[in-house]
Amino acid sequence: MIDKTYLATNPNIWDGRNDGDDYDLQRWHQRVEVIDLHSAVIPALQNGQKGIAFIGFMCQEGVKRNKGRLGTVDGPYELRKACANLPVHFSEDLKIVDLGNIQCMGEDLEGAQISLGKLITETLLAGYKPLVWGGGHEIAYAHYLGIRDFIDQKYPGKKIGIINIDAHFDLRKPDPLPSSGTPFYQIAMDQKERGNNFNYLVVGIQKNSNTKKLYNTATELGAKYISGRRITEADKVGTTHKLVDFIDKVDFIYQTTCLDVFAAHYAPGVSASAYNGISPNPTFMKMFKKIHKSGKVISSDIAELNPSLDLDRRTAKLAAALSFEIVKD
């Protein structure tokens, strides 16, 4: 599938503190195997072996079309640097590879989405759980395409659920082109054409970030949501019940996080910052961990990291902390 959109990762990005080579002293940069798909194939996992594959989506065309602040094209590079020094808290048998990046060439968002989808399908077929770093939230439609095609090949008929941690529904109709604000509407239409239900849950929705039309669209499409103001200790029973109920009704989960869900003082480096976003507090982290410990998450991504707007690398460090929770045992 390698084409002009593919860019291999420079191995020098994965560098950091070295306390020794013993397993209990290692950090991520000592465990990541960088693979250049120009000259190698994705190494298939053996029976029973588990693996995580990092993929970057170097794209901001969807954000540009959505009239957001530009800079997300550099998100994957910055997030790799933020993750390099994380300590190893996962099984010694876990194989971690960096498969490189898909980049948007000029304004060809649609071509980049197709390329990323194909790479995700190949990664899943090789046995890995992808963790994709964006890039704008246009990453979501591309990611869905890859998961959809994998399920069609390996698990036909199984139901996919999408859990989007986001302040926005991103359910706008393309007008006329798709953008970072349209991916889940595109997914809903694709699922409808295939005769499937649209299983979509948004966690962290803010009323002042979505028009009444978007709320109506969510209702018409059967989408579920948990308001950002409900992610509190006082509301944890109700929100947890809603989350678990959604998880129980699907076979596989695609989990995507848009960093603009967090309050601006936690995540200033995003395309559309939110003064009243949620906090990455223990209540939120318990929900996040519950999703990823469900055993149903097939693939995940983190979108909208904009290094050009970040302060003291706060947003990159927050994204790295979420990546840590996805990867660790």
- In terms of C-beta density within 10 A (0-12 exposed, 13-18 middle, 19 or more buried), how is residue 166 classed? buried
- Binning pLDDT at 50, 70 and 90, where does residue 2 land? confident
Are the CB atoms for 140 and 256 separated by under 8 Å?
yes
Rounded CA separation 42/127 (Å)? 10
- What are the pLDDT digits (tens) for 247-298? 999 999 999 999 999 999 999 999 988 888 999 999 999 999 999 999 999 9
CA 136 to chain centre: 10
Tokens of 169: 């529904």
Whether 226 is in a domain gets the answer: yes
Q: What CATH number does the domain containing 298 carry?
A: 3.40.800.10
Whether 1 is in a domain gets the answer: no
Whether 283 is in a domain gets the answer: yes
* Full domain range(s) for residue 217: 6-327
Asked whether residue 312 is marked as a ligand-binding residue, the answer is no
Asked whether residue 168 is marked as a ligand-binding residue, the answer is yes
Asked whether residue 152 is marked as a ligand-binding residue, the answer is no
Whether 294 is in a domain gets the answer: yes
Whether 252 is in a domain gets the answer: yes
Q: What is the pLDDT of residue 1?
A: 59
- What are the pLDDT digits (tens) for 22-45? 999 999 999 999 999 999 999 999
Domain count, the chain: 1
Asked whether residue 108 is marked as a ligand-binding residue, the answer is no
Whether 145 is in a domain gets the answer: yes
Whether 222 is in a domain gets the answer: yes
Rounded CA separation 261/167 (Å)? 5
Report the half-sphere exposure of 176 (CA within 13 A, side-chain side): 0
Whether 143 is in a domain gets the answer: yes
